[in-house]
């Protein structure tokens, strides 16, 4: 193995953009044929839309004629013929794993995986690990309970591909995991940004200096974080390690490893193809923010084509100045959710932007919640944020005003801030719930998009 190679697979990572676009379209056609031939749900969907895969001859055909798919479509397909439903494209005996993710109605969405899928699903993690200097023989610590959340299973498959050593922190509480870190001294730890920050808090309580564990790399997924400078700084300072993210969608795949330059993520073109569209469903120009529609090449059991991620991204093409990859870049990672974006006096506001600004206020911690509401004909935001440890409560009012001024200066609209005591907001092991929408449904971007089609 060429351990000195800068790239895990330069044939893919450095493929010239024009060649890459041709290859991606050939792969899209392959997955269209595959789904139409094997999945009753897709056959019905495309027959109803009057589009046969053989008639999708250009990318424009794909954009204009092939219908999108949403999570609720999969939920309905599964409900029609439990457990996997009419989307299933393989015989049940081919299924190697069954995961689930939260559904839209309280019923979980099942994610069946065949063996081939697990390899491709894990591969973007391997790309990430390799690009930040991790190599076969390095040790990876998983403070994760090996539950039904697929994200860190995929990271595990990625470590197996790389040839690293897996150490499980399953079935332990956070205190035991912190102690174990000091014994294991892993090269890398895999977790959500929220949980890595929580581990740092617990380490402080235990008087453990986390950098003593010698961790070099923190690999995260499940929520934004490392692409937000303030959050990245908080994690890196607490751990004494570099933090990188991977963008994945449970039912779709681990699709975009972070850039080693930490400015965003790159779409791994081996495993997915992307379209970035506006509220009217048409592609937005390079550099603009839109919703990410994704076509998975790694979901063989339950294919996903033009799948609405509801994630907002800003896309760029061309060679990345930081890492050299030619894969499509999503600058700043996932900027928010279509259902989390709110418009205040004509300005689009994303929770990640709020998080970035709050991170500049020294007296505030990284634990926050964003509450959106609607009154007097307009949307408004209130941020509840914990004070940093040691900040006296009689300072909270001054800190609130300072944070509000900073938010108004940076984002351009008024956003309310309420400072609460350290530890007042809930903690999460996996994804943190940061956004609380109290607005009427028709105010949400997601609904506007659906209305626009």
Partner 1 sequence: MAGADGRGTVKPEEVLRRLRRIRREARAILAGRPAPALARSMHTVERACHLAAWQIGDAMTLLPEGDGAQEPPRSTRRPLARRARVRRSAR
Residues interacting with partner 1, by CB under 8 A? 2, 4-12, 14-15, 23, 26-27, 30-31, 33-34, 36-38, 53, 115-116, 119-120, 270, 297, 300
Min dist. Cβ of residue 138 to partner 1 (A): 18
Query: Contact 325/261 with Cβ under 8 angstroms?
Result: no
**Strands annotated E in 48-195:** 95-101, 109-114, 139-142, 165-168, 188-191
165-168/416-420 β-pairing: unpaired
Of 38 and 443, CB closest to partner 1 = 38
Of 36 and 247, CB closest to partner 1 = 36
Query: Contact 295/273 with Cβ under 8 angstroms?
Result: yes
Min dist. Cβ of residue 30 to partner 1 (A): 5
Of 156 and 195, CB closest to partner 1 = 156
Min dist. Cβ of residue 447 to partner 1 (A): 34
3-state class of 351 per DSSP?
helix
User: What number of other Cβ atoms are within 10 A of residue 31's Cβ?
Assistant: 22
C-alpha neighbours within 13 Å on the C-beta side of residue 396: 15
C-alpha neighbours within 13 Å on the C-beta side of residue 254: 30
Q: What is the DSSP letter of 147?
A: -
139-142/95-101 β-pairing: unpaired
Min dist. Cβ of residue 269 to partner 1 (A): 9
Min dist. Cβ of residue 157 to partner 1 (A): 12
Of 6 and 204, CB closest to partner 1 = 6
Of 120 and 415, CB closest to partner 1 = 120
Query: Contact 326/16 with Cβ under 8 angstroms?
Result: yes
Distance of alpha carbon 86 from alpha carbon 264, whole angstroms:
36
Min dist. Cβ of residue 151 to partner 1 (A): 21
Of 124 and 281, CB closest to partner 1 = 124
- What token pair was written down for 411? 């984002």
Of 90 and 284, CB closest to partner 1 = 90
Min dist. Cβ of residue 270 to partner 1 (A): 6
Burial class (CB in 10 A: 0-12, 13-18, 19+), 77: buried
Query: Contact 43/86 with Cβ under 8 angstroms?
Result: no
């Amino acid at each position: 193995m060429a351990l000195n190679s800068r790239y895990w697979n330069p044939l893919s990572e450095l493929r010239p953009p024009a060649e890459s676009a041709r290859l991606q379209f050939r792969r899209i056609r392959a997955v269209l044929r595959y789904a139409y031939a094997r999945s009753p749900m897709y056959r019905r969907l495309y027959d109803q839309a009057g589009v046969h895969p053989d008639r999708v001859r250009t990318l424009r055909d794909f954009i204009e004629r092939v219908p999108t798919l949403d999570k609720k479509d999969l939920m309905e397909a599964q409900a029609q013929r439990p457990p996997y439903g009419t989307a299933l494209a393989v015989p049940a005996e081919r299924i190697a794993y069954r995961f689930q993710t939260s559904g839209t109605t309280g019923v979980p969405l099942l994610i069946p995986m065949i063996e081939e899928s697990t390899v491709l699903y894990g591969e973007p993690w391997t790309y990430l690990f390799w690009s930040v200097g991790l190599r076969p023989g390095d040790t990876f610590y998983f403070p994760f309970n090996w539950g039904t959340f697929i994200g860190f299973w995929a990271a595990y498959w990625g470590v197996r591909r790389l040839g690293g050593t897996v150490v499980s922190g399953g079935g332990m509480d956070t205190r035991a995991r912190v102690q174990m870190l000091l014994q294991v001294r892993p090269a890398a730890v895999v977790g959500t940004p929220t949980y890595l920050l929580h581990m740092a808090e617990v380490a402080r309580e235990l008087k453990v200096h986390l950098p003593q564990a010698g961790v070099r790399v923190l690999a995260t997924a499940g929520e934004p974080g490392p692409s937000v400078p303030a959050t990245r700084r908080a994690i890196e300072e607490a751990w004494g390690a570099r933090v990188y993210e991977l963008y994945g969608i449970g039912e779709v795949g681990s699709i975009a490893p972070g850039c080693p330059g930490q400015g965003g993520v790159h779409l791994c073109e081996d495993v997915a193809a992307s379209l970035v569209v506006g509220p009217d469903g048409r592609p937005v120009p390079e550099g603009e923010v839109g919703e990410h529609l994704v076509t998975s090449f790694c979901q063989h059991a339950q294919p996903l084509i033009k799948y609405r991620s509801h994630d907002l991204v800003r896309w760029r093409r061309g060679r990345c100045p930081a890492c050299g990859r030619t894969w499509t870049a999503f600058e700043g990672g996932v900027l928010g959710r279509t259902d989390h974006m709110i418009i205040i006096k004509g300005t689009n506001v994303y929770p990640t932007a709020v998080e970035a600004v709050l991170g500049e206020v020294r007296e505030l911690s990284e634990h926050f919640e964003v509450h959106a509401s609607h009154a007097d004909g307009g949307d408004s935001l209130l941020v509840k944020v914990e004070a940093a440890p040691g900040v006296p409560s009689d300072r909270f009012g001054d800190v609130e005003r300072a944070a509000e001024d900073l938010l108004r200066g940076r984002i351009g609209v008024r956003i309310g801030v309420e400072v609460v005591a350290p530890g007042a907001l809930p903690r999460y092991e996996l994804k943190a719930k940061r956004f609380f929408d109290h607005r009427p449904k028709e105010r949400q971007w997601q609904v506007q998009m659906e209305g626009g089609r």
